[in-house]
A and B are shown apart, each in its own frame.
Chain A
Amino acid sequence: MTEFSKPKRIILNFSLSFYIFIFSFLIFTVRVAEAARLYFEPQEQVIGEKDEFSAVLNIDAEEPVNAISLAIFVSEELTPIDTNDGSSIINLWLEKPHFDEASRLLTFSGIIPGGFKGEGAPLLIVKLKAEKEIGIGVLSFNKEKTKIYLNTPYGIEDELELEEMRLPIIKGKENIIIESQDNEPPETFKPEITRDPMLFENKWSLVFTTQDKISGMAGYFVHETTRKIDETRIDTNKWIKVESPYILKDQGLKSWIYIKAIDKAGNERIEILLPKYPLRWYERYEIWVIIILGVAFIFYIMKKVLRKRHSQTKT
């Protein structure tokens, strides 16, 4: 066995320790890099108490992720006013963003079919307002309720790197007002009529979803009618506010179905589904009205003609 002198042994030990440190560092950093990172990007680094401001919740995903459930704790210095999911990479929402005053948690969940891998992708824009004139507003993650799953067939949870946001609130500071004009209607969409024993006890139901890339979606409305009408002439009170999936009122599928999607700026897009089993002519009351009126008219004319002939033969 090779014997080393004391100084050489110290140098050898030092270099070995150095290399072990470098290896550990590399392995550690690579492991961290493989985790999904969640962080906020506020519009400004310091905010004032007067005006609202926004913060974008972003994700960096080193490995493809496909299911996200988040719970954001909002400190008492801040109040969420609104959220915008228009630019979110989440395609299908299980739970739309909702703020619970009691727990002060802003929660939402949804999926990205096929998965997402990349950096700086927005999940949600949160509009906030400072509640105090001075202090520090904090947005942090509730670790127990924040979960992200990898795009695998096994439902594997991803490691998370969660970064809270701490924003100083300064009295009198004027926040930059960001105004975005949204003149475009929501995206086109294809509602689908479906029936399955596992959904609403096999009743016919309607499934639909769309997105608005600028202001985000506000909601959906449905109108069912057996008569085809111009969609712009449907009375406001005839639209029913619905969520997908929706049990159709007309289980005979004889109705025209109008589905209206409205974004947060009030722009509308209406999609129309034709009746699967349109009314036959004898099922339409207006046809019977026309027939009855026609018969009555013919009867009236015939009666008049007969009376005229009768009077002529008399004379």
Chain B
Amino acid sequence: MSQNFYFLLSIFLIILLFSTLYFLTSKVSAENPTLTVTVIQSSSCGDGSCNGSETCSSCSADCGQCGGGGGGGGGGGGIIAPVTSAIFSGRAYPKSAVTLLKDAQIAATTIAGADANFTVTLSGLSGGNYIFSVYSEDNKGVRSSLLTFPVSVTSGATTNIGGVFIAPTIAVDKSEVKRGDNIAIFGQSAPSSEITISVNSDEEFFAKTPADKDGVYLYNFDTSPLEFGQHFTKSKSSLENLISSFSKVLGFKVGTKTTAAEPSPSREKEGDLNNDKKVNLVDFSIAAYWYKRPNPPKTVDLNGDNRIDLIDFSIMAYYWTG
């Protein structure tokens, strides 16, 4: 009896050890969005190799002189400087506006196709480290979270950044929900993608729901297992081995009554100091003007501690739109 107990306890502890290990490692890796970066050397005249669109007539330096034919006139010369560029491709939402930021400033915008795929080409870059960010707006004008990634751009080459998967948008239909009632969590992502919804309180609950052909998803979450108080929800999307980052985090309260959510959450306005519906360099400049100065305006003081410090800039950086 005691031997069996001892054996079972050991087995239990080993299983517990490995499951803990698996849980801890999978928790870290599951949140990593997919992104692939490849570098393609641009074909440039004078680089010593005859490639791309180069021919003997367009680039004799690399492809040699054209044979045959008569005479013809000289001129020309000079080496064409290789182009440094970056091509971004990925998925947003069907026919949504996609904005690309380069080092926190808008560099390009495009419209995604009906299949949610988009491609943006950015030229005129230098070789070096860049921080690129992308975001999109769904069919209801709700903005996604900012997907930010550092890219080392090689001088004279085209850097391909593929697999950019913009996080789903997210909204809830209630700001306060009576415990036991359902709360609708909805938004938009790529068509036919699988949406994972997380409701985070003391215990984290996960639910999965498919997005329809327009990328729209809706999940009615039963609040019975939630404690009274403030809770948060977020979602992410997966499709064909691509995993998005998490969406913005939305809060809702579980209480004794039900209150409908406001059409545009007030926190969306955070950081937009001049009310132009953008959080960009102008807002940063206004906040920087008041940095460490006494008696700042309340609209600039984002965390309401009566001073402008790094915390206010951190909140602004979270809501950045460029």
Contacts and interface: CB of A to CB of B under 8 A. Distances in A.
Given A94-B310, A196-B286, A155 B303 contact: yes
Interface in B115-169: 124-131, 133, 146-148, 150
Contacts of B316: 111, 113
A22 B168 CA distance: 38
Contact of B289 (A8, A62, A187, A200): A200
B318 A151 contact: yes
Interface string A1-40: 0111000100010011001001100110010010000000
Contacts, number: 170
A113 B320 contact: yes
Given A15-B10, A111-B317, A121-B129, 14 more contacts: A3-B2, A4-B2, A30-B24, A94-B288, A111-B284, A112-B104, A113-B322, A114-B133, A116-B148, A192-B281, A196-B273, A198-B290, A207-B282, A207-B284
Interface string A211-245: 11110000000000000000000000000000011
A152 interface: yes
A113 to B, nearest CB: 3
B128 A86 contact: yes
A147 interface: yes
A198 B273 contact: yes
Nearest to B315: A155
Contact of A121 (B150, B300, B314): B150
Contacts of A92: 104, 281, 284
B274 interface: yes
Nearest to A113: B320
Contact of B20 (A4, A23, A121): A23
Contacts of B219: none
A190 B107 CA distance: 10
B101 A113 contact: yes
A91 B285 contact: no
Contact of B314 (A30, A91, A111): A111
B181 to A, nearest CB: 26
Contacts of A30: 24, 28
Contact of A147 (B2, B310, B317): B310
Given A92-B281, A115-B148, A152 B318 contact: yes
Interface-centre pick from B274, B299, B312, B318 (highest chain A CB count, 10 A): B318
Nearest to B146: A114
B103 A187 contact: yes
Interface string A148-176: 01111111000000000000000000000
A64 interface: yes
A87 interface: yes
B237 to A, nearest CB: 18
B58 interface: no
Which 4 A-B residue pairs are closest in the complex by CB-CB distance?
A213-B128, A114-B148, A113-B320, A155-B311
Contact of B129 (A23, A87, A114, A196): A87
Interface in A105-129: 109, 111-116, 118, 121-122
Contacts of B221: none
Contact of A113 (B9, B28, B104, B288): B104
B50 interface: no
Contacts of B24: 26-27, 30
B176 interface: no
A134 interface: no
Contacts of A196: 273-274, 282, 286
B93 interface: no
B21 interface: yes
